[in-house]
């Protein structure tokens, strides 16, 4: 049986420790290694002990959860916990596993834990390469453009747009046209970083600045439509 993931709770509220601790008691795949009421105590512990997963509150006195994350060069997996939903967009730039809004229900907690285990799964082994498609990698794509292959980092991608049997991959500086369909590239991208918002568009979650009505605003002032069938899943990512 695989060793349980070690985790800690970092939250200034006693109630949060009780609720999350109670949920963790139900699970054999997670092991609570400690509970801390401020970021400094938690970081001192992390410097001395291995931890796989942090349940991290955002609003804490002294140093917030996001400030703690930004100060760490290689943080463990992080599930943010907060009573406020307005930090959801900002949190994705730290590549957190999930974002839980208090009060945390057990089914939603289990979904976040499932996301953590999915993040730890090794990338599937590739037995063959179809030169007409994109070659998957952990943090980048090898994109076929005009017969050549160009390395495009996931973090550089703003959005992907359907273009018939091609897609346009937009970064902050370049637009690449590649012979692959939107559905095919969706399967190649990291589902924790990207989301389909329309039959013709896929966007990077960390680049979303605002969601208003049937549109969203990305960095560099790109405005994209949100399809009715994709709107619910998009909003669920920020709850």
Q: Is 228's pLDDT higher than 80?
A: yes
Q: Write out pLDDT tens, residues 129-152.
A: 444 444 444 578 888 888 888 888
The verdict on 75 and 174 lying in the same domain is: no
Does residue 11 sit within a domain?
yes
Range of the domain at 168: 140-236
pLDDT at 135: 41
Confidence of residue 89 (pLDDT cuts 50, 70, 90): low
Of residues 164 and 135, more confidence is placed in: 164
pLDDT at 78: 93
Q: Is 54's pLDDT higher than 60?
A: yes
For residue 210, the cross-strand partners are 217
Task: Tell me how far apart the terminal alpha carbons of the chain are, to the nearest angstrom.
Answer: 33
Does residue 82 sit within a domain?
yes
The verdict on 83 and 187 lying in the same domain is: no
The verdict on 93 and 37 lying in the same domain is: yes
Of residues 116 and 39, more confidence is placed in: 39
Does residue 30 sit within a domain?
yes
The verdict on 154 and 81 lying in the same domain is: no
Does residue 68 sit within a domain?
yes
Place of tokens 């596993």: 97
**Contacts with 25 (C-beta within 8 Å, 6 or more apart), sequence order:** none
Total domains in the chain come to 2
CA distance 37 to 60: 8
Does residue 130 sit within a domain?
no
The verdict on 12 and 105 lying in the same domain is: yes
Percent of the chain whose pLDDT exceeds 90: 47
DSSP string of the chain, one letter each residue: -PPPEEEEEE-S-HHHHHHHHHHHHT-SSEEEEEEESSHHHHHHHHTTS--SEEEEES--SSS-HHHHHHT-SS--EEEEEES-STTHHHHGGGT-SEEEESSPPHHHHHHHHHHHHHHHSPPPPPS---TTSPBP-SSEEEEEETTEEEEEEGGGEEEEEEETTEEEEEESS-EEEES--HHHHHHHS-TTTEEEEETTEEEEGGGEEEEETTEEEEGGG-EEE--HHHHHHHHHTT-
Q: Which 3 state secondary structure label does DSSP give 103?
A: coil
For residue 99, the cross-strand partners are 80
The verdict on 17 and 103 lying in the same domain is: yes
- C-alpha neighbours within 13 Å on the C-beta side of residue 39: 18
The verdict on 144 and 205 lying in the same domain is: yes
The verdict on 12 and 115 lying in the same domain is: yes
The verdict on 224 and 151 lying in the same domain is: yes
**Domain end marker among 65, 91, 120:** 120
* Across 66-93, average pLDDT: 83
Q: Is 92's pLDDT higher than 80?
A: no
The verdict on 160 and 72 lying in the same domain is: no
The verdict on 158 and 232 lying in the same domain is: yes
Does residue 132 sit within a domain?
no
Query: Do the beta carbons of residue 53 and residue 79 sit within 8 Å?
Result: yes
Confidence of residue 55 (pLDDT cuts 50, 70, 90): very high
Tell me the CATH number at 145.
Answer: 2.40.50.1020
Give the count of beta carbons closer than 10 Å to the beta carbon of residue 191: 11
């Amino acid at each position: 049986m695989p060793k349980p993931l070690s985790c800690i709770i970092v939250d200034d509220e006693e109630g949060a420790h009780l609720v999350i601790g109670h949920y963790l008691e139900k699970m054999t795949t997670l092991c609570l290694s400690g509970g801390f009421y401020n970021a400094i105590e938690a970081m001192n512990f992390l410097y001395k002990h291995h931890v796989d997963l942090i349940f991290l509150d955002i609003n804490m006195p002294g140093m917030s959860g996001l400030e703690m994350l930004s100060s760490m060069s290689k943080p463990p997996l992080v599930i943010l916990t907060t009573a406020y939903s307005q930090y959801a967009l900002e949190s994705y730039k730290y590549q957190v596993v999930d974002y839980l809004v208090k009060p945390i229900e057990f089914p939603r907690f289990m979904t976040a834990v499932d996301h953590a285990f999915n993040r730890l799964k090794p990338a599937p082994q590739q037995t063959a390469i179809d030169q007409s498609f994109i070659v998957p990698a952990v943090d980048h794509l090898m994109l076929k453009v005009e017969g050549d292959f160009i390395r495009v980092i996931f973090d550089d991608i703003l959005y992907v747009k359907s273009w018939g049997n091609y897609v346009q991959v937009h970064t902050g500086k370049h637009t690449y046209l590649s012979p692959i369909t939107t559905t095919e590239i969706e399967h190649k991208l990291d589902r924790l970083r990207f989301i389909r918002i329309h039959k013709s568009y896929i966007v990077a979650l960390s680049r979303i600045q605002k969601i208003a009505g049937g549109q969203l605003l990305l960095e560099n002032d790109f405005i994209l439509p949100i399809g009715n069938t994709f709107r619910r899943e998009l909003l669920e990512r920020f709850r």
